[in-house]
Amino acid sequence: MDITLTIIGQSVAFFVFWWFCAKYVWPLFMNVMEERRQKIADGLEAAARAEKDLELAQAKSTDQLKVAKVEAAGIIDLANKRGSQIVDEAKDKAKEEAKRIIVGAQADIEQEVNRAKEALRAQVSAIAIAGAEKILEGTIDRAANEDMLNKLASEL
Amino acid sequence: MAELADVAHAAAEHGAEGQTVQEYITHHLSYLTYGKFPDGHWGLAHTPEEAVSMGFMSIHVDTMGWSLFIGAAFLLFFRYVGLRATSDVPSGIQNFVESIFEFVESQVNSGFNYKNPHVGPLCLTVFVWIILMNTMDLVPVDWLPEIAMAVGGLWGLEHMSFKVVPTTDPNITMGMSISVFFLILYYSVKNKGLGGFLSELAFHPFGKWMLPFNLIIEIPTLFAKPVSLGLRLFGNMYAGELLFLLISGLLGAYQLPAHFVWAVFHLLVVPLQAFVFMMLTIVYLNAAHEPAHGDH
């Protein structure tokens, strides 16, 4: 056990190394650890937040789905209504059109009948005159009997 | 030592350069010493006798040098790694250093209950430094001394001693334990006040009417701390080194298996002694931070 100056040298080295470690080594690792701890904490927090967000989004989507369903039902109802309305309108229009066509046709028919009657009248007077001429065996003055003929024709 | 000497004579043929085993071991247990000769001039001692004649005014160049080299290398390496450390996934070397750091930090956290940012670095320094100094005894006992003798031969020092395990030098271990002792005193006085510290010595454990007995118990207890701290480390490492030397000196060519067994055992002792030193430092410093006991 020869104690020498070495013991003092080692003590000095001890304090110097301690100082160096405390100033230049320890903080480096302390910071890295702290940073990593922070990062992990942030990551976990973000994960928890994402989970919550997901839950909220799911709830929201269900809500929106419900609203959309209701809306869709409304739209379908409206469409159905509108459809039957259109059909009704079309029916009404068709009926009107048909009526109109019938009326027109009746008018045409009446006109035709009248025209035929006119033609018939004209021919009746000619036939009446021709018959009367045959009966009287002479010509009848058409102008003199005009009134009587017209009267006859209008009676037809 | 008589039996040892007999064995030594029997094995003398194995010894290098016709040395007896005793000479071999003595040579390995001596230091490369630089100091003040009795006639007043300074220089390197050429023989162990010269080294002893220098007394206190000398320095063990070998153990001191290795101690400084190892401590500086470890701190610079840690700083190198620390500067490149990232808080992302650590890899390789950073992982290794961080695991040591975390181990020390967790020991400090669990053993030291007060706020003192200096205790962590202290324990890291002590733990890694001592582990590395202890590890030097796993280097085969003749390698570095032979190299040293070859180099020393250039200056006429072909028989110089060269001790490579700093913790087998009581100066090294006691140098650290006395430093810890001063820290114990400093933090005790700082946290308890001088009065509180002295009253702990004087009025415990038996109260003020038994003051002399208290002092008889407490003062040796206080001084036992650095002594046990330093001598435990020294004793373990010195004994281990001695056994390596005995194996190397006595067994000649058959030493390899014995070396292997003892080295494996030492793989346990090396970190264990460093751990014990660190843990006791934590415990002592924790006690030094405890507030003074209530008034008596």
B179–A14 C-beta distance less than 8 A: yes
Asked if the Cβ–Cβ distance from A18 to B122 is below 8 Å, we say yes
- Per residue of chain B (296 residues), give pLDDT as tens: 444 444 444 444 444 456 788 888 888 888 888 988 888 889 888 888 888 888 888 999 999 999 999 999 999 999 999 998 888 888 889 999 999 999 999 999 999 999 999 999 999 999 999 999 999 988 888 888 888 888 888 887 777 888 899 999 999 999 999 999 999 999 999 999 898 888 888 887 887 788 888 888 889 999 999 999 999 999 999 999 999 988 888 887 778 888 889 999 999 999 999 999 999 999 999 999 988 765 44
- Catalytic site includes residue B232: yes
**In chain A, pLDDT over 90 holds for what percent of residues?**
71
CA distance A114 to A150: 16
Q: Check if A26 contacts B (Cβ < 8 Å).
A: yes
Candidate from A58-67, A116-125, B170-179, B218-227 with smallest mean pLDDT: A116-125
- Check whether the bond before B121 is cis (ω within 30° of 0): no
pLDDT at B293: 65
**Exactly one of B134, B188, B236, B248 is catalytic; which is it?**
B236
**What does pLDDT average to over chain A?**
90
Residue B236 falls in the annotated catalytic set: yes
Q: How far apart are the first and last CA of chain A?
A: 169
Helix boundaries (H) for chain A: 6-20, 26-136, 146-155
Provide, as residue numbers in chain B, all residues whose Cβ is less than 8 Å from the Cβ of A35.
87
- pLDDT value at residue B52: 83
Average pLDDT over every residue of A126-140: 79
Q: How many CB atoms lie within 10 A of CB A107?
A: 10
Picking from B82, B85, B125, the nearest residue to A17 by CB comes out as: B125
How many A/B residue pairs have CB atoms within 8 Å?
Answer: 120
A81 touches chain B (CB under 8 A): no
Mean pLDDT of A87-109: 95
Task: Lowest mean pLDDT of A107-121, A131-145, B83-97, B198-212, name the range.
Answer: A131-145
CA atoms within 13 A on the CB side of B193: 6
For B23, other C-beta atoms within 10 Å of its C-beta total 16
**Taking CB atoms and an 8 Å cutoff, what residues of chain B touch A28?**
79, 82-83, 85
Cβ contacts (< 8 Å) between B60 and chain A: which residues? Answer: 4, 6
- Point out the residue among A21, A24, A29 whose CB comes nearest to the CB of B98: A29
Please answer yes or no on whether A1 and B68 come within 8 Å at the CB atom: no
Alpha helices in chain B (DSSP H): 2-10, 21-29, 48-54, 61-83, 92-111, 119-135, 143-152, 170-202, 211-250, 255-289
- In SS3 terms, B210-251 reads as HHHHHHHHHHHHHHHHHHHHHHHHHHHHHHHHHHHHHHHHHC
Catalytic residue among B179, B191, B232, B286: B232
- ipTM confidence: 0.88
> How far away is chain A from the Cα of B94, in angstroms, using its nearest Cα?
10
Sheet of B42-44, strand order: B42-44, B33-36, B58-60
Task: State the Cα–Cα distance between residues B49 and B107, nearest whole angstrom.
Answer: 44
Residue B274 has a CB neighbour count (10 Å cut-off) of: 22
Of B56, B67, B129, the CB nearest to A4: B56
Range A101-122 average pLDDT = 91
SS3 B164: coil
* Interface contact B75-A26, CB threshold 8 A: no
